[in-house]
Structure 1
């Protein structure tokens, strides 16, 4: 098969060479023509077995007979390129284009040399000529723009190709790389707005624009874009963001829950928007507590959120509202979802347990936590407080005295330590030490007021 292909290539090139020989030098004798053909065939044979030097020698003989034959320079270029003699290869291909600028393969040869030598600037100049002959090489031009960091030109060409021939994964990856630099985002926003005006039914343009606005924290513009999307493509997942807000404003709880569920399940919608939807629903639930089970379900969609521990944040919200039972449930969920034992969450949970007087739970939790955080005075304080309330005064005293060693410039906590120590000694019947610690607590309170 290779031999047949070689013979076919030979006859094609030979016929081209004969025509050029006849056109450029009509006075060439039949003997010279036969000699030309012999050397040319020899060059193809030697190139086929990778004897590039011998192929070049044969072609140079052809060149002597017909110095204006573009095919000879093209073949010389290919052999020089195989030998990595890049300057000779480029000059040969360039000479071929000067003789016949309409043959795209001569330009491809120049481009191949530029790419092999990583001379991307020259490659761009060659491609500017080549794409006139074959627009498919615009794809290569995008790559060269990326290699030379000509991101503005790359972005313009990517957008033009996306519009006329459709997007590709490679171009989209390039586009993400470009848009990671904020200075190019303004141009892309303008392009997307134009695309939306021209093609209002193309959802991907809305999504890309929403992504950029979201990345820049332009949430007002996100809302406007989503509303526009809703008008033109009401079945879009993104359209549900706008519909959700409308349902809340009109107190249509079941429909709001349905729209929210679509949003939270979506793999297209940005996490910032999801958090915003959840926060809006949280405020709705505070006035409409019958939807609390739906809120619990919504929170579960964020169980593996790598950025924000949503259960913790909503627990803090309920904590601030003194709805401690709800806060406790959420803190427990936050601790379960976390890969590590988080001190902040556990301290909030202990505070909530104290507020609802679950002292047995406080004592149990602090004992476990002190094994992990033995130098945290807050844990000793909660342990002492819990044991005092459980009337286990000796355990309270031991915990509080151990924790005092870790108190460093925390006046409010020091006051509470002394109050709890006073209560512990009171329970143990030691009036002298009870009075000592209560008196010390009062003194510290007076000092705190002066500060």
Structure 2
């Protein structure tokens, strides 16, 4: 029953997909053909969802045979070939999609993924120059590509142009210093900067460049030593706050440490690696002292636009590992506000609620998310587990049986499904099915240990 409802919902969504809507002069004559197209397209999406990319490709090729001028189909074909790392075929598919509709940004994105994954940076440059027409943020990618291909003059020209118009990130500042530093035919740059600091200890820029160099080389301790010298020479410097933060933290002065931390996080001059390290050190202090939770929460807001790390998710995992599930749930929920479809965060949040015994919350969230991710097996597992705990054994069985169909190459999850089904049948007094599922779980466990 449940599985049929889910398939029905997916099919209705498919019928509403714009790529399936075309000029239909005589619906009666082509109804069967449309049904065939929709069936193949739906099957391709289903196979892609369970990572059967070869089958997904075969189905989408059937669609292309019926609609050879549909650019979106070639894009879908390209994504499947890309998942298989069949880069030549992926490139051909994306090229065809672009040929049919060059104004669709996502087709160019797909082609960029192919070139970037194959490290064809020169071809990537051509594609990114086109992507910049859609989104200026790709200028950062273009600078990086110029650096990879050692086109330093072009990189510096673009960095300086961005500096005048939109501002640049700490990474681009680092690139700029590398380019300028490499052009100096004097001493090695670190020695050059150390000497410059000795000659003019009030010039903040020399400290900053040296901190960037150490940070780039993952030498954070060295970077913090330079920040300490900066604090002594220029106490009101943003970078001086880094060493001030460590000093106050070491003295267990959370109030003054948090004040210094916020100055660091607000600064546009300080490298993101240093900011992350400051936050991590403050997190450990908060956990050990069990204080300053509000300040920690405020600090994470400075990382909401950080595309590289989901900070709230990482803090949630940290607290979950420390058995502080209420704190973990708070940060995982906060993480989902910025990354709504992050299925890994959703799973961790469900587990945190299980650990806290919030079974009604687990039931509601898992069943709601099944509507969004109808082929994700773990959501059915969490729904079944919660329903078992709530003594709703019949509904638990329905979700667990439906979810079993989506388990692929995951023996641990399959074992857990059988255990929960055994619990469900036990709750209903069905001894035969209870024993069957517990026995199956035991057999799978023995196979896994071999």
SS in 2 for 1:290: coil
Q: 1:325 to 1:238 in 2, by over 3 A?
A: same
1:275 deviation in Å? 0.5
Q: Does 1:187 align with 2:188?
A: yes
8 A Cα contact 1:302 1:310, kept in partner: yes
8 A Cα contact 1:230 1:239, kept in partner: yes
8 A Cα contact 2:152 2:179, kept in partner: no
1:184 deviation in Å? 6.2
Identify the residue that residue 367 of structure 2 maps to in structure 1: 367
Identify the residue that residue 231 of structure 1 maps to in structure 2: 232
8 A Cα contact 2:177 2:209, kept in partner: no
CA distance in 1, matches of 2:303, 2:322: 22
Identify the residue that residue 442 of structure 1 maps to in structure 2: 442
Moved more, 416-425 or 177-186: 177-186
In structure 2, stretches of 5+ residues that fail to align are: 1-149, 157-162
CA distance in 2, matches of 1:270, 1:174: 9
Q: 1:216 to 1:181 in 2, by over 3 A?
A: farther
8 A Cα contact 1:393 1:428, kept in partner: yes
TM-align CA RMSD = 2.8
Identify the residue that residue 215 of structure 1 maps to in structure 2: 216
1:194 deviation in Å? 2.2
CA distance in 1, matches of 2:152, 2:364: 60
Query: What are the superposed Cα offsets for residues 265-323 of structure 1, whole Å, 9 maximum, x if unpaired?
Result: 11111111010001111111122112222211212221222221111111111111111
Identify the residue that residue 252 of structure 2 maps to in structure 1: 251
8 A Cα contact 2:411 2:444, kept in partner: yes
Where does 1:240-389 land on structure 2 (aligned, <5 Å)?
A: 240-338=241-339, 340-389=340-389
1:324 deviation in Å? 0.8
- TM-score norm. by structure 2 comes to 0.59
Where does 1:388-399 land on structure 2 (aligned, <5 Å)?
A: 388-399=388-399
1:366 deviation in Å? 1.1
Q: Does 1:420 align with 2:423?
A: no
Q: 1:169 to 1:373 in 2, by over 3 A?
A: closer
CA distance in 2, matches of 1:255, 1:175: 30
SS in 2 for 1:301: helix
CA distance in 2, matches of 1:312, 1:175: 28
CA distance in 1, matches of 2:396, 2:173: 64
8 A Cα contact 1:178 1:184, kept in partner: no
CA distance in 2, matches of 1:182, 1:372: 51
Moved more, 289-298 or 354-363: 289-298
Identify the residue that residue 78 of structure 1 maps to in structure 2: none
1:169 deviation in Å? 7.0
CA distance in 1, matches of 2:181, 2:413: 46
Q: 1:405 to 1:178 in 2, by over 3 A?
A: same
CA distance in 2, matches of 1:200, 1:263: 21
Where does 1:153-164 land on structure 2 (aligned, <5 Å)?
A: none
CA distance in 2, matches of 1:446, 1:214: 49
8 A Cα contact 2:422 2:434, kept in partner: yes
1:325 deviation in Å? 0.8
1:347 deviation in Å? 0.2
CA distance in 1, matches of 2:308, 2:207: 25
Q: 1:150 to 1:376 in 2, by over 3 A?
A: closer
Q: 1:435 to 1:309 in 2, by over 3 A?
A: same
Where does 1:172-183 land on structure 2 (aligned, <5 Å)?
A: 176-177=175-176, 179=178
- TM-score norm. by structure 1 comes to 0.59
In structure 1, stretches of 5+ residues that fail to align are: 1-148, 156-167
- Residues matched between the structures, number: 286
8 A Cα contact 1:353 1:362, kept in partner: yes
Query: After the TM superposition, which parts of structure 1 deviate over 4 Å for at least 4 consecutive aligned residues?
Result: 149-152, 172-178, 180-186
8 A Cα contact 1:151 1:178, kept in partner: no
CA distance in 2, matches of 1:237, 1:440: 62
1:382 deviation in Å? 0.6
1:431 deviation in Å? 2.0
CA distance in 1, matches of 2:245, 2:173: 34
1:408 deviation in Å? 2.1
Where does 1:113-152 land on structure 2 (aligned, <5 Å)?
A: none
CA distance in 1, matches of 2:181, 2:403: 50
Identify the residue that residue 130 of structure 2 maps to in structure 1: none
8 A Cα contact 1:285 1:295, kept in partner: yes
Identify the residue that residue 128 of structure 2 maps to in structure 1: none
SS in 2 for 1:438: helix
Identify the residue that residue 14 of structure 1 maps to in structure 2: none
